[in-house]
Structure 1
C-alpha cells in the first residue's frame, strides 16, 4: 500500500515499525506544524498519489487543520484519510468537524497503546462508515454560520502520468540537453519528474557522475536538481525499451511527468513518438540539413531548433510549411534562461490554473 504520513515526533516513535517499512511510504512529515505551514504540508501531500494518509491530529490543534484536510479531500477524493487522535473523546469539536468532511477513520486510543498494531489493523480493514464515526459528530462546525471570502485556485489536470518523448533527426543536435531542459522547468514548477534514457548512445551514467547525483527515491534512479534520472543499463540486452522495463519503478515514483530521451529517430522510435502524450523533434535549422525534416514531419510535431535564430526558423517555415521553435543558446539545461520558450512548448500538457474569488459557507460537512 502506498502510504503518506503526517505525524508528531512523539507519534513517530510509537509507529516506528510502520515508518521503517520504507518503500511503501511516498510522503512523510514528522513534527509539529504552525498555522502557516499546515496548509503547505497538506498541499505537498496532495501532489503525491497515495492509497491512504495517516494524520496525527496533534501536529496542529488549530482549526486550520480542518481547512487543510478539506483541501486535501478535494484534491485526492479517493485517498483514504485515517485520523490518529490520541486521548480524544466524543464531543471534541475538532474531530466533529473532520467527520463532517466525510472522514470516518478515527483512531482514538490512549497514548500508551500499541499504535503499530492498531494502525496496521486499521490499514488492513475496510474504510470506516459514518455509523462507526457518528459518536464523534456533534453537528457543531468550526466557523458555523460565518461567511468567509477565499481565493480558490482551481487546477484542471491531465489524469495519469504524462509521457513526453524527445528525439533528434541526427546525433549531436541537443536531444538530451532539451530533455533535461524540459524536465528542469517542470521540476521548478513543483512537479514530480523523471527522465528515462532510451537512446542509441547512452550518456546518462556519465552525466550523473558529472552532476554528482545522489541515489533517487526509486530503486535504480539518481536525483539531481529535483529530477529522477534513469540511465540505460548497458549490461542488459536491448530487446526491450528502458521505459518498458521500468514500469514498476515509474509507478512507485508517482511521477506526474516522464520524459524519454529517445536519441536519433528511426522506425522503432517513431512508434514510441506516436504513443507519447507530447513529442518534440530536435533538428537543425541549417539550410543544408532541411532535408532531415522535409517529407518526414508535418505540423503534427513540435520541432525544436537549438542555437537557431527566429529568422532562421521563419525562413525554414516559409519554404517547408513546417512550423518550428527556436531554442536560444543555453549551456546549462537547469537554468531558467529558456523558461518562456518552454512554457509555450509544454502548455498543452500543463495544468490549467484558474483563480476565482467566491463566497463559501464554511459548513465543513
Structure 2
C-alpha cells in the first residue's frame, strides 16, 4: 500500500509505526502549514500516485483545508482519504464540510489516544460509508453564502484501465526496455502504472533480483522505480497469457495504466496488440534490418526506433515508406531523457485538460 502523509511531527511518528507492516510512505509533509503553502503541498501530493492520503487537521490553522481537499479529490478521485481530527466533536464546521466532499474516514479520538493502533485499524478496514460519518454532517458548508468563482483545471481521464501493448520485430531490439520506459514515464506523470511480462524470453524475475525490488501493491508484483512489475510465473505456466491470469490482481491494484511486454511480434501477439488501447512495435532503424520491419509490420501500429536518430527515421521512411519515432540513446529505462517523445506517443490515452469555472463551497 502506498501512502501520502500530511501531519504534525508527533502524529507523523505514530502513523509511521502503524505503517511499518501496512505500506510505504511515497509522499510526506511534516509540520504546520500556512494558508499560502496549503495549495502547493496538496498539488504536490496530487502528483504522486498513492492508495491512501492521511491528513492531520492539526497541521492547518484555517479553513483552507476544505478547498485543498476538494482540489485533491478532483485530481485523485480514486485515492482513499483519511482525516485525523483529534478532539473534534460533531457539529464541527470544518469536518462537516469535509464529509460534504464525500470523505467519510474521520478519526476523531482524543489527542492522547493510541493513534498508531487507530490508523492501523482504519487501514485494515474497508473505506467508511456516509452512514458512519453522518453524525459529522450538518448539511452546512463553509462560506456557503459566498459564491466565490475560481478557475481550476479539470482532467478528462480515459475510463477504466488503459492498456499499452509493446512488441518487437526481433529479440534484443529493446521491447522490454521500451515497456519499462513507457511505464516509468506514466509514473512520473503521477499515474499508477504496472508492467506485465508476456514475452518469449522472460527477464523480469532476474531484473527484480538484481535491483532488490520490494513487493508491489498486490501479491505477485514487485516495485521498481515507482512502477509495479509482474514477472511471468513459470511454476504456474499453463499456456495462458500472464495478463489474462492477472486481471483480478490488476483490478485490485487500481492501476490506471497497464503496459504489456509482449516480446517478438507473431500472430497471437498481433491479436493481443489489437486488443490494447494503444500499441507500439519496437524495431531497428539499421539498414540491414529493414526487412524485419517490412515483413512484420502492416502499418496498424506506431513504430518506435530505439537508438536511432531523426535522420535514420527519415531515411527508412523515404526508401521503405515506413514511418516511426526515434528514441534517442539512454541506457537507463527509468530516466527522463525521452519524456517529450513519450508525451507525444501516448497523447491519445493521456488525460486531457480543460479549464472550467466551478463554485467552491457551493453544491
- TM-score, structure 2 normalization: 0.77
> Which of the pair has more CA radius of gyration?
1
The unaligned stretches of length 5 or more in structure 2 are: none
- How large is the Cα RMSD of the aligned pairs? 4.2
What's the secondary structure of 1:158's corresponding residue?
Answer: coil
Within 5 Å, which residues of 2 pair with 1:19-58?
A: 22=22, 34-35=33-34, 36=37, 40-41=41-42, 44=45, 57-58=57-58
Q: How many residues align?
A: 358
Q: Which whole-Å deviations, capped at 9, do the CAs of 1:133-157 have from their partners, x for residues lacking one?
A: 56x34x4623853746x45122111
Does structure 2 retain, via aligned residues, the 8 Å contact 1:100–1:364? no
Q: Which whole-Å deviations, capped at 9, do the CAs of 1:149-186 have from their partners, x for residues lacking one?
A: x4512211112211111111111111111112212222
Distance 1:58 1:49 in 2: 22
1:271 Cα deviation from its structure 2 partner: 1.3
Structure-2 change in CA distance of 1:73 and 1:307 (3 Å): closer
In structure 1, the partner of 2:130 is 127
Point out the more displaced range, 84-93 or 74-83: 74-83
Does structure 1 retain, via aligned residues, the 8 Å contact 2:158–2:349? yes
In structure 2, the partner of 1:145 is 146
Does structure 2 retain, via aligned residues, the 8 Å contact 1:32–1:60? no
Distance 2:56 2:167 in 1: 47
Within 5 Å, which residues of 2 pair with 1:4-19?
A: none
Structure-2 change in CA distance of 1:34 and 1:264 (3 Å): same
Structure-2 change in CA distance of 1:222 and 1:95 (3 Å): closer
The unaligned stretches of length 5 or more in structure 1 are: none
Distance 1:16 1:334 in 2: 28
Does structure 2 retain, via aligned residues, the 8 Å contact 1:97–1:364? no
Q: Which whole-Å deviations, capped at 9, do the CAs of 1:264-305 have from their partners, x for residues lacking one?
A: 111111111111111110112233433323364333210112
Distance 2:287 2:14 in 1: 68
Distance 2:161 2:244 in 1: 14
In structure 2, the partner of 1:197 is 197
Distance 1:38 1:156 in 2: 21
In structure 2, the partner of 1:305 is 305
In structure 2, the partner of 1:363 is 361
Q: Which whole-Å deviations, capped at 9, do the CAs of 1:228-286 have from their partners, x for residues lacking one?
A: 12222233324111122222332232211111111111111111111111111011223
Distance 2:105 2:337 in 1: 48
Distance 2:239 2:339 in 1: 36
Distance 2:15 2:311 in 1: 63
- TM-score, structure 1 normalization: 0.77
1:221 Cα deviation from its structure 2 partner: 2.0
Point out the more displaced range, 228-237 or 273-282: 228-237
